[in-house]
């Protein structure tokens, strides 16, 4: 058995609690409120009491059999607590486990907590406190918070920019409604072509009522040939019918009958009757047939072949003249077959342009005659297409008006071939202002009453008055009598389709937005343009207000 060496006693010392920091003589002011200084907490001993060591006397020393020497590991040297205070670790002495020993009562030292010092009367009555502004009342604070919260919680509505620019800075005369007059609107959008459209129409009627251009003699001769060919065709048809009838009448069918008598094989008397048809040439019809054959030879050889040759030769001469006119116009203006259509505001009237316009006038003049053959009318429209295609390569606004005025004074219907003759030149490399003015002017010619249409179509009027045996009635009872002098609704509708209003608006916006940077001037110019367009369309509704043109009026309303 080994003896247990008693542990040496070591006097224990406890750290005294730190003293509280001195109270500041000057209080702190926070948000207008006076508060005392609060002392900071210094590191102190942990409040948890440590277990006391049990000291045994020599008589109470346990025997080796009942004592178990057990060593307890020391806690870590540093420990982090919630209040941020570092606590020093202590080494624990060996603890003797003796269950048979009497229990010892642990004794703990009192823990010192920091206290808040009270202010003295001298501090309360110091001069410093009198200089501090008194805190605001609760009612004032609550009222301010409510107003501030209400201003923040409410929707913040920003002032939107005006939808339309202001015209208050414009120094123009206004009527009693505060609107600009028509004369003042011309300052924002002025269309000289539209202003001169009526004068242009008067000159057109005066100069183109009769024609004497380079194609007039050839076309006149060609028309006579067509009339002669029409008459020859009718005569040839009558001759063919007479010849067929004469051939049938030249031979007369006669019924021949014969009777035969004799004896049969049995030596008996017998008789029989036979009948057959016999064609007999009539001498009177032979002479008539001879004359009809001579007339047929004349129709086929002298008239049909000769007139066909003359027609083709004359048409070839017209074609040569058309090609010569086109070549001269293209050489004067430096054009080629690949030149795009171009719209000009101002151009020098050259000899080639005058020659081309006169040739077109000759063609349109001959298209106004009644009862034209399809062959002749097709030839005229073909030559008109060739000339207009070359003209539109370098076209003036007056040239396009010239073509439209001719189309409006042709007998209906013309929509099958005349619609492509009206163009807007949207894709042309021309200034937007020129194209806008041109489209408005073309619409005005289409919407205005067609001046002197009856005079231009006087040949048709005479033919209708001479042939008064038949009256041509329309299928609709509301339309009344039908006349070729009256323009057809389908023609008006087709020509209006060639001038779309949507493209006109695009051109106008492009021009007004690029002409000036002032939003007010742009807006006023658009208003002036819109009013002028509405005026033109209203003229069309007033001109064609008859039930015959109800579809055309509906199309105008949909623009």
Per-residue pLDDT band at 77 (split at 50, 70, 90): very low
DSSP assignment of 341-399: P-EESS----HHHHHHHHHHHHHHHHTTSSS--HHHHHHHHHHHHHHHHHHGGGEEHHH
Q: What are phi and psi of 309, to 5 degrees?
A: -65, -45
Q: What pLDDT sits at residue 71?
A: 46
Q: What pLDDT sits at residue 190?
A: 85
Residues 356, 326 contacting (CB under 8 angstroms): yes
Residues 67, 96 contacting (CB under 8 angstroms): yes
DSSP assignment of 59-119: TTPPPTTT--EEPPPPPPS----TT-------PPPPEE--TTSPPPPP--PPPPPP-PPPP
Q: Which has the higher per-residue pLDDT, 503 or 153? A: 503
Q: What is the mean pLDDT of residues 407-416?
A: 92
Residue 372 CA to its chain's centroid (Å):
44
Q: What are phi and psi of 333, to 5 degrees?
A: -105, 5
Per-residue pLDDT band at 378 (split at 50, 70, 90): very high
Per-residue pLDDT band at 111 (split at 50, 70, 90): low
CA-CA distances (angstroms) from residue 97 to 58, 67, 69, 103, 235? 16, 7, 8, 11, 156
pLDDT at residue 120 above 80? no
Per-residue pLDDT band at 358 (split at 50, 70, 90): very high
pLDDT at residue 309 above 80? yes
Instruction: Give 249-257's long-range contacts (Cβ < 8 A, gap of 24+).
Output: 249/282, 249/285, 250/281, 250/282, 250/285, 250/286, 250/289, 251/279, 251/280, 251/281, 251/282, 252/279, 252/280, 252/281, 252/282, 253/277, 253/278, 253/279, 253/280, 254/278, 254/279, 254/280
- Evaluate the CA torsion angle 265, 267, 272, 278 in order and state its sign: positive
Q: Is 32 left (phi over 0), alpha (psi -120 to 50) or beta?
A: left
Q: Are strands 95-96 and 251-263 parallel, antiparallel or unpaired?
A: unpaired
Q: Which has the higher per-residue pLDDT, 165 or 266? A: 266
Closest CA to 367 of 403, 402, 411: 411
pLDDT per residue as tens digits for the range 136-193: 555 565 666 555 555 544 555 555 565 555 555 555 666 676 676 666 666 778 888 9
Q: Which has the higher per-residue pLDDT, 401 or 130? A: 401
- Nearest-angstrom CA–CA distance, 256 and 270: 21
Q: What is the mean pLDDT of residues 221-241?
A: 89
Q: What pLDDT sits at residue 90?
A: 44
What is the residue-averaged pLDDT of the chain?
76
Q: What is the mean pLDDT of residues 26-41?
A: 56
- Crossing angle of the two packed helices 351-366 and 374-391, in degrees rounded to 10: 160
Q: Where are the domains of the chain?
A: 196-250+273-407
Closest CA to 93 of 65, 76, 74, 66: 74
pLDDT at residue 131 above 70? no
Beta strands in 192-338 (DSSP E): 251-263, 269-281
pLDDT at residue 460 above 90? no
Residues 401, 421 contacting (CB under 8 angstroms): no
pLDDT at residue 26 above 60? no
Q: What is the mean pLDDT of residues 377-406?
A: 95
Mean pLDDT is lowest, of 106-115, 228-237, 425-434, 515-524, for 106-115
Residues 292, 245 contacting (CB under 8 angstroms): no
Q: How much of the chain, in percent, has pLDDT values that exceed 90? A: 33
- Nearest-angstrom CA–CA distance, 410 and 371: 13
337 CB-contact burial (10 Å; exposed 0-12 / middle 13-18 / buried 19+): exposed
235 CB-contact burial (10 Å; exposed 0-12 / middle 13-18 / buried 19+): middle
pLDDT per residue as tens digits for the range 507-554: 888 888 887 777 777 888 888 898 899 999 999 999 999 999 999 999
Q: What pLDDT sits at residue 402?
A: 96
- Evaluate the CA torsion angle 218, 220, 225, 226 in order and state its sign: positive
Beta carbons within 8 Å of 279's beta carbon, 6+ residues apart? 251, 252, 253, 254
Q: How much of the chain, in percent, has pLDDT values that exceed 70? A: 63
Q: What pLDDT sits at residue 301?
A: 84
Write out the H or E segment, with its range, that includes residue 33: strand 33-35
């Amino acid at each position: 058995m080994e003896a247990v060496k008693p542990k040496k006693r070591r006097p224990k010392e406890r750290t005294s609690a730190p003293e509280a920091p001195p109270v500041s003589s000057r209080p702190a002011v926070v948000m207008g409120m006076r508060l005392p200084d609060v002392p900071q907490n210094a590191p102190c001993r942990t409040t948890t009491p440590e277990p006391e060591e049990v000291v045994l006397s020599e008589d109470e020393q346990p025997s080796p059999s009942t004592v178990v020497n057990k060593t307890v590991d020391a806690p870590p040297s540093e420990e982090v607590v919630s209040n941020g205070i570092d606590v020093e670790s202590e080494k624990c002495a060996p603890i003797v486990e003796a269950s048979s020993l009497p229990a010892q009562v642990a004794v703990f030292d009192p823990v010192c907590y920091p206290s808040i010092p009270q202010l003295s009367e001298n501090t309360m009555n110091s001069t410093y406190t009198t200089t501090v502004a008194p805190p605001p009342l609760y009612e004032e604070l609550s009222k301010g918070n409510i107003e501030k919260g209400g201003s923040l919680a409410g929707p913040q509505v920003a002032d939107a920019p005006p939808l339309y620019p202001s015209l208050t800075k414009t120094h123009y005369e206004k009527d009693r409604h505060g609107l600009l007059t028509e004369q003042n609107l011309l300052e924002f959008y002025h269309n000289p072509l539209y202003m001169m459209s009526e004068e242009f129409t008067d000159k057109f009627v005066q100069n183109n009522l009769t024609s004497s251009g380079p194609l007039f003699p050839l076309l006149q001769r060609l028309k006579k040939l067509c009339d002669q060919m029409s008459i020859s065709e009718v005569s040839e048809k009558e001759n063919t019918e007479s010849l067929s009838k004469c051939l049938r009448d030249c031979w007369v069918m006669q019924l021949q009958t014969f009777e035969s008598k004799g004896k049969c094989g049995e030596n008996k008397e017998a008789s029989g009757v036979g009948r057959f048809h016999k064609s007999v040439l009539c001498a009177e019809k032979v002479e008539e047939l001879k004359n009809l054959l001579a007339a047929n030879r004349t129709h086929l050889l002298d008239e049909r072949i000769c007139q066909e040759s003359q027609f083709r030769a004359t048409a070839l001469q017209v074609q040569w003249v058309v090609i010569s006119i086109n070549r001269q116009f293209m050489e004067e203006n430096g054009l080629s077959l690949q030149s795009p259509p171009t719209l000009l505001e101002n151009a020098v009237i050259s000899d080639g342009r005058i020659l081309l316009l006169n040739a077109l006038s000759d063609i349109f003049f001959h298209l106004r005659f009644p009862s034209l053959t399809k062959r002749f009318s097709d030839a005229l429209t073909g030559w008109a297409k060739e000339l207009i295609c070359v003209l539109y390569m370098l076209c003036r606004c007056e040239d396009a008006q010239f073509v439209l005025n001719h189309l409006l004074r042709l007998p209906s219907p013309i929509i099958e071939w005349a619609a492509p003759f009206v163009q807007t030149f949207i894709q042309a490399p021309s200034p937007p202002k020129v194209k806008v003015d041109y489209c408005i002017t073309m619409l005005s010619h289409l919407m205005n009453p067609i001046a002197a249409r009856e005079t231009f179509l006087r040949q048709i009027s005479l033919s209708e008055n001479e042939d008064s045996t038949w009256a041509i009635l329309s299928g609709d009872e509301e339309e009344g009598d039908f006349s070729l002098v009256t323009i057809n609704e389908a023609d008006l509708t087709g020509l209006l389709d060639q001038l779309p209003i949507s493209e006109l608006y695009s051109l106008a916006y492009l021009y007004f937005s690029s002409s000036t940077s002032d939003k007010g001037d742009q807006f006023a110019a658009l208003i002036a343009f819109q009013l002028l367009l509405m005026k033109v369309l209203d003229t069309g509704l007033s001109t064609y207000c008859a039930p015959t043109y109800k579809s055309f009026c509906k199309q105008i309303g949909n623009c």
